[in-house]
Structure 1
């Protein structure tokens, strides 16, 4: 479990966060994830394609 805590924050776009919140119903989760260092909001150009 400690290994999970050592990971780098996930780089996400604001659009992806908004879509996730709308789909899941967890409005405000994006703000909390950023505050806790789990996610970093980046420009669309900075997110690698998968």
Structure 2
């Protein structure tokens, strides 16, 4: 993730907000991982599914 997004995730942890991660799969498609502020739910999805 770009530095700006990493910094935003650091702030999100402090401010009790969602944390977003993005990874490239071997087929060059992105996958997103979104963890809710209270860490109760983590969702894995493709950007097209959002």
Please, what TM-score do these two structures have when normalized by structure 2? Answer: 0.28
From the two aligned structures, give the one with the greater strand fraction. 2
Structure number with greater CO (CA < 8 Å, separation at least 6) is: 1
